[in-house]
């Protein structure tokens, strides 16, 4: 089989890239190791930058997001029981949309199914070949048979643990990483949110986040140690740990209930560069990871797809390779800014240590953020998403 672009991974990055290319007449095949149901079972974040919203509209899959997504004009930060609001709308004129990544994935799957473009699920033993030649190819097994996919380019959108980055020649990639000494314990529950906007909580007991997926479904997080056992966290313990970190109003509005999903996620910052190796282009988590504090993971994947889709469209329509040649530099410039912002928010809001100096520095930084319009504007610009 032959195609123009082979896409590895049917997460949001791979599906969005496939949809954008298809709408410009560029043939592509998506290979996914897992089943469709498994991909849809992944619970991920859901704060979407305006530029990501625009890209989903361009891909023709934004209608349900506009019906069901929650537009937020600001965010709230609670420091030791006192809440402060930062208005994105007033500071930048922009907003963000809360819409679960699972829902985005479903919309993209449905959009691709409507086009008839091929997605091959349960593709095992995927391997990349000749990525630095003029004839790259991908081999895999599906349905008990071996297959080979010849192509012009390969897009590695298969996540941090995928095979795409591992297919890069030894010594051709440089990795930068910071692993944080804590994680997030998160639960999803069918209860109304405590606030119409996200509340980030900085508290001596540790970080917390009150988020939502809809007016009737809430997502809560607590800072936890990396050695925590999820079995040691029954729902009752989670609620009892969350309550003292909230302000009085949020505590009064808190509705507890059984969790429908519970998980512990370690936090890390990671960047692999460059993001191009011959005919292979990395995108999304295959190239970078951010801690979820800044809500940048999905949005960074979308920005990679924006740069890569434009470059491929130019290549096939204008016979210009300039966009492909500059893809890595353009994508990494935005990646590192998002990495900085996510690192900054993580260090600002979590209990980093028992050192009183660290605690006082956090309070000083937060006080500056709340009192300075320049600091608040910089925060808002980064949170709603820097321009492409």
pLDDT digits (tens, 9 = 90+) for 296-355: 999 999 999 999 999 999 999 999 999 999 999 999 999 999 999 999 999 999 999 999
- pLDDT band per the 50, 70, 90 thresholds, residue 46: confident
133-172, pLDDT tens digit by residue? 999 999 999 999 999 999 999 999 999 999 999 989 888 9
Catalytic residue check, 72: yes
Catalytic residue among 99, 140, 180, 200: 200
| Predicted structure pTM score | 0.95
Catalytic residue among 22, 279, 296, 350: 296
Q: Give the residue-averaged pLDDT of 205-226.
A: 96
Class of domain 180-267+349-384: alpha beta
Catalytic residue check, 316: no
pLDDT for residue 91: 98
Q: What is the CATH number of domain 5-70+100-177+268-348?
A: 3.50.50.60
- Is the pLDDT at 42 greater than 80? The verdict is no
Per-domain boundaries in the chain = 5-70+100-177+268-348, 180-267+349-384
Q: What does pLDDT average to over the chain?
A: 96
Catalytic residue among 99, 220, 327, 383: 383
Catalytic residue among 12, 193, 291, 292: 292
Strand residues in 157-258 grouped as ranges (E): 174-189, 199-202, 208-214, 217-224
Q: How far apart are CA 143 and CA 137, in angstroms?
A: 19
Catalytic residue check, 359: no
Q: Give the residue-averaged pLDDT of 73-92.
A: 97
Of 104, 62, 78, 94, residue with least CA distance to 383: 94
- Is the pLDDT at 45 greater than 80? The verdict is no
Q: Give the residue-averaged pLDDT of 36-64.
A: 91
Catalytic residue check, 140: no
Q: Please, which residues bridge with residue 369 across strands?
A: none
Catalytic residue among 22, 72, 262, 279: 72
The token pair that represents 174 in the structure block: 């440089």
- Is the pLDDT at 44 greater than 80? The verdict is no
Catalytic residue check, 84: no
Q: Give the residue-averaged pLDDT of 199-226.
A: 96
């Amino acid at each position: 089989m032959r195609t123009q672009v082979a896409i590895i991974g049917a997460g949001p990055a791979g599906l969005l890239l496939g949809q954008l290319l298809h709408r410009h007449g560029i043939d592509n095949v998506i290979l996914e190791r897992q089943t469709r149901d498994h991909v849809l079972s992944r619970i991920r974040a859901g704060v979407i930058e305006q530029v990501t919203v625009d890209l989903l509209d361009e891909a023709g899959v934004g209608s349900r997001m506009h019906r069901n997504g929650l537009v937020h004009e600001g965010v709230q930060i609670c420091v030791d029981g006192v809440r402060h609001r930062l208005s994105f709308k007033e500071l930048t004129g922009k907003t963000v949309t809360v819409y679960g990544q699972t829902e985005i994935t479903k919309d993209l799957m449905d959009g691709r199914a409507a086009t008839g473009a091929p997605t091959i699920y349960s593709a095992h033993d995927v391997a990349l070949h000749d990525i630095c030649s003029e004839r790259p190819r991908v081999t895999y097994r599906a349905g008990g048979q071996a297959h080979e996919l010849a192509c012009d380019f390969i897009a590695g959108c298969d996540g941090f643990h995928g095979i795409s980055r591992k297919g890069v020649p030894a010594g051709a990639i440089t990795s930068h990483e910071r692993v944080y000494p804590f994680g997030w314990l998160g639960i999803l529950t069918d209860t109304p949110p405590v606030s119409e906007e996200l509340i980030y909580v900085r508290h001596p007991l540790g970080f917390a986040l009150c988020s939502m997926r809809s007016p009737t479904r809430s997502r809560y997080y607590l800072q936890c140690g990396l050695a925590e056992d999820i079995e040691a966290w029954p729902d009752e313990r989670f609620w009892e740990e969350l309550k003292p970190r909230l302000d009085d109003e949020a505590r009064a509005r808190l509705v507890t209930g059984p969790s429908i999903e519970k998980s512990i996620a370690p936090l890390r910052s990671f960047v692999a560069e460059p993001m191009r190796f011959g005919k292979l282009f990395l995108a999304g988590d295959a190239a970078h990871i951010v801690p979820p504090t800044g809500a940048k993971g999905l949005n960074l994947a979308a920005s990679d797809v924006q740069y890569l889709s434009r470059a491929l469209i130019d290549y096939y329509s204008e016979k210009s390779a300039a966009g492909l040649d500059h893809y890595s530099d353009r994508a990494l410039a935005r990646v590192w800014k998002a990495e900085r912002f996510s690192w900054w928010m993580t260090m600002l809001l979590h209990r980093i240590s028992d050192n009183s100096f660290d605690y006082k520095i956090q309070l000083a930084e937060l006080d500056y953020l709340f009192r300075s319009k320049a600091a608040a504007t910089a925060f808002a610009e980064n949170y709603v998403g820097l321009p492409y």
